[in-house]
Structure 1
Amino acid sequence: MWDLFDLTAQRARLSPDRRALVDLTAGEGAGVALTYAGLDDRAARAAGLLAALGAEPGDRVAVLCRNRPDFFTLLFACAKLGCLLVPLNWRMPAAELAPVLADCQPRLLFHGGEDRATAQALAAGPALVDLDDDFEALVAKQPPLPSREVWPADDVWYLLYTSGTTGEPKAVLYTYGMAMANYVNLRQGVDLSEDDRTLNYLPLFHTAGINLHTLPLLMAGGEVLVQSQFDAGAVLDLITQGRITTFFGVPAVYRQLALHPRFRTTDLGAVRRWACGGAPLEDALARRFVERGALVCNGMGMTETGPTLFLNDPAGAAAKLGSIGKPQILCRVRVVDGAGRDVPPGQVGEVWVKGAAVTPGYWRQPAATAAAFSPDGWLRTGDLVRQDGDGYYYPVGRLKEMFISGGENVYPVEVENALLRHPGVLEVAVVAVPDPVWGEVGHAHVRAQPGTDVDSLARHCRGLLAGYKVPRRFVLVEDFPRTAAGKIQKHRLVPPPGLDLAS
């Protein structure tokens, strides 16, 4: 594994005058740009501020803010000093954040103005620094702190508390070596270069907000536009202006873009690479982008894998609709059955992975860390896939989501893809519920166009699926409980009270 040298100093030496971060959060206009030389100077001064406020190597530094360039200033400042950054979920109230802070015990808490009240409610813990009131003046008067000579590959750079779809969050250890491995995997996977420009808008307490594609592109010397939150119209404007060349989104983002009134008239050609992850992109939605000349390349990974693991390529996106592509260059993958034995192409199995981008474990949770790995060191992802004869992989669902109905395995993602072919269906989530006859049956929660007939959903499924796969019940919902990445939280979906599942 490679040790790193000061990334911002190295990049400032190579391309001091190139634009690193462009702040679009202030409103209209081109945005305020920070060059690589400016980013290095600002991060060094911020590192001096951390030290002046009492932070020492190994201390945790929490940050509670919406997307803004200062987040990356703090990320690199922590690296220069040897502290661990802890991004906090601004969607959580103080009552939910308090146990997180008790777990990581940060020395300092930086926060934005939008989250001032939440931070102050947590003030009994770390010292507070307001990014909107205090930070600018404090950084400006602080002399740059000389960086550590080496950022060791195995040292932890930051902690990411996973939002989770099935249980309580845990803090994933993210090392400097993982950052470099993710950079290699992503750079070769999407041909990132210093001429690329990407948009940072996904929440920064999630791995996608940091690593897809922002941190790798900063390592490559490209330009990152920072938008405080997702706005479909603003994204289409940036595309029209030719300001974005690579774009990463989760399915919910692609859905909002496709539903925007200007989607059909916007020239999408300036974006040379479209990427999707966080959850499977349904086939029907992918086809809408193909019709507009945009090939959306699916991928799959998780916080624990850096996150880049699988990536599709444009040829695969065109010929292998629904595929997540192939494992990237610094990943080793196995697809195994319940006994840990490799399964042949065409059969469904769980993904196990090794590689330089895989986390060493969870913050102060040795039992959870041990449970996540096989005895010989393979990370058990819990994701189910199948491989075709050409080496392309297809997601089938999560191991915990698969259910058995009448002795037959049912994979919810297959049922969901079938339902998404119905013209009235926007989103769907299928979960298992107990049944006294069949053991388990499917229950479909559907977000649909107005006027969609529930009975037509069942008829639609019967024409596409075996009988045991057809959901026993359908319920229309206005929206779903979601994680920060837009994933539907299936563990929070429950049958309506009084529903007779056996009838």
Structure 2
Amino acid sequence: MSSPESCVVARQLAELGHTNLYHLLEQACRDYGDKPAFSCGADSVSFIALREHADAFARYLRHEVGLQPGDRLAIQLPNLLQYVVTIFGALKAGLVIVNTNPQYTAPETRHQFSDAGARAVVVLDKLVPLVRGIQADTQIEHLIVTSVDDWRNPQEQSDAADVSRFMKALAVGRTLPEVEPERGLDDIAVLQYTGGTTGVSKGAMLTHRNLLCNVLQAVSIIQPGEVQYGNETRVSPLPLYHIFAFTANCLASVFTGFNSVLITNPRDLDSMIADMKRHRVTLLTGINSLFVSLMAHPEFDSLDFSHLKWVNSGGAPLNVAVAERWFGRTGAVVREGFGMTETSPVVVASTANTPYKEGFIGQAVVDTEMKIVDDNGNELPSGEAGELWIRGPQVMLGYWQRPEATAEVLTTDGWLKTGDIGVIDEDGFLKLVDRKKDMILVSGFNVYPNDVEDAVMRHPGIRECVAVGVPDERKGEAIKLYVSLHDRNLTEAEIIAHCREQLTGYKVPSFVEIREDLPKSTVGKLLRRVLRDEARAQAGA
């Protein structure tokens, strides 16, 4: 078991005196003032201006919309300046934030709004028809509507009594009485919904303490001299409704005084490249599939990476071959991290001051314990694979209104059962082998898809890949590999031959299917579950 340093972040939190997340912005205004806090396209907002906008929005939410501390406010927006104003306005008003994917379907949106009991939503104008279609099945009483270009071309007219325009709300809010957060460390700050890959989507209850501690844990990996608080520019393509970006690119960036360059649509690589040329980029947060896509862009090598100090990867496993290609093209090492919605999210991080171990992510952040257990919950020795359990101040309270689901993953002494198969070595470095449910049993041997995928990605002609298990009469399960290619001339037989060079016999895929693209989530995570279900349906399972 890896042991944490004792109560470091608790002491830091006490020294800061912060009792809720809004205090991060108040501190940033004192420390960084008029420096840029967030940029989006050609627009930006300073820390002081962000506080002014957030305060006005908080007043509007409390006095005009009638929301009270503890009420839930849904946010259904892409990365925009309006998003960060909404976040800190909601925190100032003492509300609980419900981050919502703007690409959700009507049933997904209905479930999340209804389950959270959200009374109002801040929503993109083009999504209003979707919200109207499901509103009767929810507790939504008020819509605050914004447009992508509101910051530059503000719209103030609304067409219904229960609809306000975002920019009008800011203007009205400035005339209303001041409000106070009225929330403490152990109150819920965010209901962050899981992806629902193991059943119905559940809201992880993350408190102000959880998230403040995780901000301190995340920045603890930065060593003196590596970056300058208040003088760095971070490109932030991951959506803020995702917990990794919410904590790292929003909350932690405010704490450190970084200017976060928000990418509204990371799939529009031309615009993202233009944004990267507009700024002196020193930090970048991404995901494996984004690094692949950027490196395939014809203008990638024209970007100036000479000031790039730190590249973070989170939200999905980082492929070793992709990281090596990135380093070869940019000279910057990609530092991987691991976390979960249920852990606010950061658990493990790689730093410039820890030795590199191929295949291992890194060590637990401060005040975090990890252990590997067998199916009976018994701790296993270092080097043995089993389920990863985590304990620390960033672990959620539980799942919103789901005590049985909470009891399934949280032990009475505070351990979170992750469902991930991992290995911890003698130095406390974590390697994630796979999800329990993704393991493939081939002729009695456990095969973890990540092992297969890492080997496959060593071939320079392969762009992305996913390995899944399919029923096999002889082996029990066989391995099917889905790939997309850089080299369109690469054949299935050549891919199998490459696998035979890289993998022991039972790990070699029996089937290969080449596709133009592989399915991904809205944050760019390869959807193994979708391909696994499809492959098993085709096999008649």
Q: Same fold (TM over 0.5)?
A: yes
Tell me the CA shift for residue 273 of structure 1: 0.4
- Rounded to whole Å, the distance in 2 between the matches of 1:149 and 1:483 is 34
Tell me the CA shift for residue 68 of structure 1: 0.8
- Rounded to whole Å, the distance in 1 between the matches of 2:306 and 2:81 is 27
Q: Which residue of 1 aligns with 2:243?
A: 207
Deviation sequence 1:60-104 (CA, Å, 0-9, x none):
111211211111212112222221111221112223311222211
Q: 1:496 to 1:140 in 2, by over 3 A?
A: same
Deviation sequence 1:12-71 (CA, Å, 0-9, x none):
2333322222232xxxxxx22222221112111111111111111111111211211111
- Rounded to whole Å, the distance in 1 between the matches of 2:540 and 2:171 is 65
Given residue 463 of structure 1, which amino acid in structure 2 is its aligned partner? Answer: E
Given residue 268 of structure 1, which amino acid in structure 2 is its aligned partner? Answer: F
Structure 1 residue 4 corresponds to structure 2 residue 23: no
The TM-score, its normalising length taken from structure 2, stands at 0.86
Given residue 108 of structure 1, which amino acid in structure 2 is its aligned partner? Answer: A
Q: Which residue of 1 aligns with 2:535?
A: 495
> Which of the numbers 43, 50, 67 marks the counterpart of 1:39?
50
> Which of the numbers 172, 175, 188 marks the counterpart of 1:156?
188
| Contact kept in structure 2, 1:336 and 1:352, CA below 8 Å | yes
- Rounded to whole Å, the distance in 1 between the matches of 2:260 and 2:538 is 51
> Which of the numbers 296, 319, 322 marks the counterpart of 2:359?
322
How do 1:394-473 residues align onto structure 2 when only pairs under 5 Å count?
394-448=431-485, 449-473=487-511
Given residue 423 of structure 1, which amino acid in structure 2 is its aligned partner? Answer: P
Q: Which moved more, 1:187-196 or 1:426-435?
A: 187-196
Q: What is the CA RMSD across the aligned residues, in angstroms?
A: 2.2
Structure 1 residue 54 corresponds to structure 2 residue 66: yes
Tell me the CA shift for residue 469 of structure 1: 1.1
Deviation sequence 1:250-294 (CA, Å, 0-9, x none):
101111111112233433121200011122211111111221311
SS of equivalent residue, structure 2 residue 87: helix
| Contact kept in structure 2, 1:312 and 1:324, CA below 8 Å | yes
SS of equivalent residue, structure 1 residue 159: strand
Q: 1:225 to 1:37 in 2, by over 3 A?
A: same
Structure 1 residue 306 corresponds to structure 2 residue 340: no
Deviation sequence 1:135-183 (CA, Å, 0-9, x none):
1122112236534366411111121122244443211112111221121
Tell me the CA shift for residue 189 of structure 1: 1.6
Q: Which residue of 1 aligns with 2:5?
A: none
- Rounded to whole Å, the distance in 2 between the matches of 1:498 and 1:123 is 37
Aligned residues: 494
Q: 1:145 to 1:440 in 2, by over 3 A?
A: farther
What residue ranges of structure 2 are gaps of 5+ in the alignment?
Answer: 1-9, 148-154, 156-164
Given residue 95 of structure 2, which amino acid in structure 1 is its aligned partner? Answer: C
Deviation sequence 1:456-490 (CA, Å, 0-9, x none):
22222122212111122221222233222222222
Q: Which residue of 2 aligns with 1:71?
A: 83
- Rounded to whole Å, the distance in 2 between the matches of 1:418 and 1:470 is 10
- Rounded to whole Å, the distance in 2 between the matches of 1:325 and 1:145 is 48
| Contact kept in structure 2, 1:165 and 1:489, CA below 8 Å | no
| Contact kept in structure 2, 1:44 and 1:144, CA below 8 Å | no
SS of equivalent residue, structure 1 residue 264: helix
SS of equivalent residue, structure 2 residue 438: coil
How do 1:110-121 residues align onto structure 2 when only pairs under 5 Å count?
110-121=122-133
- Rounded to whole Å, the distance in 1 between the matches of 2:105 and 2:540 is 36
Q: Which moved more, 1:361-370 or 1:320-329?
A: 320-329
How do 1:72-111 residues align onto structure 2 when only pairs under 5 Å count?
72-111=84-123
- Rounded to whole Å, the distance in 2 between the matches of 1:166 and 1:116 is 29
- Rounded to whole Å, the distance in 1 between the matches of 2:411 and 2:520 is 30
Given residue 187 of structure 2, which amino acid in structure 1 is its aligned partner? Answer: D
- Rounded to whole Å, the distance in 1 between the matches of 2:219 and 2:122 is 31
Structure 1 residue 260 corresponds to structure 2 residue 297: yes
Deviation sequence 1:210-262 (CA, Å, 0-9, x none):
12222101122222222212143444444455532221111011111111122
Q: Which residue of 1 aligns with 2:158?
A: none
Given residue 474 of structure 2, which amino acid in structure 1 is its aligned partner? Answer: V
Q: Which residue of 2 aligns with 1:27?
A: none
Given residue 120 of structure 1, which amino acid in structure 2 is its aligned partner? Answer: R
Q: Which moved more, 1:299-308 or 1:224-233?
A: 224-233
Structure 1 residue 384 corresponds to structure 2 residue 424: no
SS of equivalent residue, structure 2 residue 231: coil
Structure 1 residue 19 corresponds to structure 2 residue 36: yes
- Rounded to whole Å, the distance in 2 between the matches of 1:164 and 1:270 is 39
Given residue 17 of structure 1, which amino acid in structure 2 is its aligned partner? Answer: D
- Rounded to whole Å, the distance in 2 between the matches of 1:339 and 1:497 is 32
Q: Which moved more, 1:449-458 or 1:148-157?
A: 148-157
- Rounded to whole Å, the distance in 1 between the matches of 2:370 and 2:199 is 25
Q: 1:252 to 1:165 in 2, by over 3 A?
A: farther
Q: Which residue of 1 aligns with 2:7?
A: none
| Contact kept in structure 1, 2:236 and 2:286, CA below 8 Å | no
Given residue 27 of structure 2, which amino acid in structure 1 is its aligned partner? Answer: Q
Query: Higher relative contact order by CA 8 Å / sep ≥ 6: 1 or 2?
Result: 2
| Contact kept in structure 2, 1:204 and 1:210, CA below 8 Å | yes
How do 1:143-292 residues align onto structure 2 when only pairs under 5 Å count?
143=175, 145-148=177-180, 151-191=183-223, 193-230=229-266, 231-240=268-277, 242-292=279-329
Tell me the CA shift for residue 316 of structure 1: 4.9
Deviation sequence 1:385-423 (CA, Å, 0-9, x none):
223344322221112111222221111110111111123
SS of equivalent residue, structure 1 residue 122: helix
| Contact kept in structure 2, 1:201 and 1:227, CA below 8 Å | yes
SS of equivalent residue, structure 2 residue 433: strand
- Rounded to whole Å, the distance in 1 between the matches of 2:314 and 2:535 is 28
- Rounded to whole Å, the distance in 1 between the matches of 2:419 and 2:319 is 20
Given residue 231 of structure 2, which amino acid in structure 1 is its aligned partner? Answer: D
Q: Which moved more, 1:409-418 or 1:224-233?
A: 224-233
Given residue 146 of structure 1, which amino acid in structure 2 is its aligned partner? Answer: E
SS of equivalent residue, structure 1 residue 54: coil
- Rounded to whole Å, the distance in 2 between the matches of 1:395 and 1:458 is 25
Tell me the CA shift for residue 497 of structure 1: 6.3
Q: Which residue of 1 aligns with 2:6?
A: none
- Rounded to whole Å, the distance in 2 between the matches of 1:23 and 1:264 is 23
The TM-score, its normalising length taken from structure 1, stands at 0.92
- Rounded to whole Å, the distance in 2 between the matches of 1:321 and 1:268 is 24
- Rounded to whole Å, the distance in 2 between the matches of 1:473 and 1:23 is 44
- Rounded to whole Å, the distance in 2 between the matches of 1:311 and 1:371 is 26
